[in-house]
């Protein structure tokens, strides 16, 4: 039996591969593959894990819920308010090109509650109120609340749970999930 040896010209093969990857057809194929991987329809067989934008958004929602629950803001808040800030949702990912995706995470629960004087002040944004609080003494607003004529609270401590949730995600999971940045608007 004869042994046949092969000698591969790896430099030539790599040159051809790189030329193809740099071509418009190669770039198109790469972008199509990245879209399939990011949508979860094409399994990733390389080293490390690849998370879809939805998985990253769900993990961020989890960090926001945890931060809200551990913020201590539940002192003086109603069960409905606490439940409201624990509900988060995310939209569909948007392909920005070059393997970059954007997904919006937003409050999923009731974001407003009626104010004491709704005809004058509209509603109160629960997320902003509980997150930022009121760090200055404001004038009382008087109105009817659950059948009682009452004045508003003038000082409310903010828990800053949204910033804490974002910091927790970025510090613990940002790299794993491939998140470049979180923009709070």
Hey, where are the domains in the chain? 9-48
Given pLDDT bands bounded at 50, 70 and 90, which one contains residue 8? low
In 3D space, the residue among 38, 42, 64, 66 whose CA is nearest the CA of residue 51 turns out to be: 38
- Is it the case that residue 171 has pLDDT exceeding 90? yes
Arithmetic mean of pLDDT, 138-149: 77
In 3D space, the residue among 138, 145, 143, 137 whose CA is nearest the CA of residue 119 turns out to be: 143
Most confident of 10-14, 54-58, 84-88, 96-100: 54-58
How far is CA 162 from its chain centroid?
Answer: 11
- pLDDT in the model for residue 168: 94
Write down the mean pLDDT value for the chain. Answer: 76
- Is it the case that residue 150 has pLDDT exceeding 70? yes
β-pairing verdict for 148-151 and 105-107: unpaired
Quick: pLDDT tens for 49-93.
Answer: 677 888 899 999 999 888 888 876 655 556 666 676 778 889 988
Question: d(Cα 92, Cα 165) in Å, to the nearest integer?
Answer: 21
- pLDDT in the model for residue 119: 78
Please state, for a pLDDT cut of 70, what percent of the chain lies above it: 75
- pLDDT in the model for residue 11: 74
Q: Is 101 helix (H, G, I), strand (E, B) or coil?
A: strand
Q: What torsion, rounded to 10 degrees, do the Cα atoms 167, 173, 175, 181 define?
A: -40
- pTM, 2 dp: 0.65
Given pLDDT bands bounded at 50, 70 and 90, which one contains residue 169? very high
Quick: pLDDT tens for 118-140.
Answer: 777 777 777 777 777 776 666 77
- Is it the case that residue 115 has pLDDT exceeding 60? yes
């Amino acid at each position: 039996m004869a042994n046949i040896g092969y000698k591969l010209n790896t430099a030539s093969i790599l040159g051809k591969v790189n030329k193809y990857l740099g071509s418009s057809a190669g770039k198109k194929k790469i972008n199509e593959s990245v879209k399939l991987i990011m949508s979860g329809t094409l399994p990733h067989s390389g080293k490390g894990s690849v998370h879809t934008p939805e998985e990253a958004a769900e993990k961020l929602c989890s960090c926001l819920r945890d931060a809200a629950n551990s913020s201590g803001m539940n002192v003086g808040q109603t069960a409905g308010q606490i439940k409201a800030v624990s509900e988060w949702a995310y939209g569909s990912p948007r392909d920005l090109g070059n393997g970059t995706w954007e997904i919006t995470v937003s409050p999923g629960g009731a974001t407003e509650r009626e104010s004491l004087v709704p005809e004058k002040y509209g509603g109160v944004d629960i997320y902003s109120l509980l997150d930022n609080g009121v760090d200055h003494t404001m004038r009382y607003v008087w109105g009817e609340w659950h059948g009682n004529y009452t004045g508003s609270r003038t000082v409310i401590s903010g828990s800053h749970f949204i910033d804490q949730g974002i910091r927790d995600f970025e510090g613990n999971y940002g790299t794993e999930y491939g998140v470049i940045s979180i923009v709070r608007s």
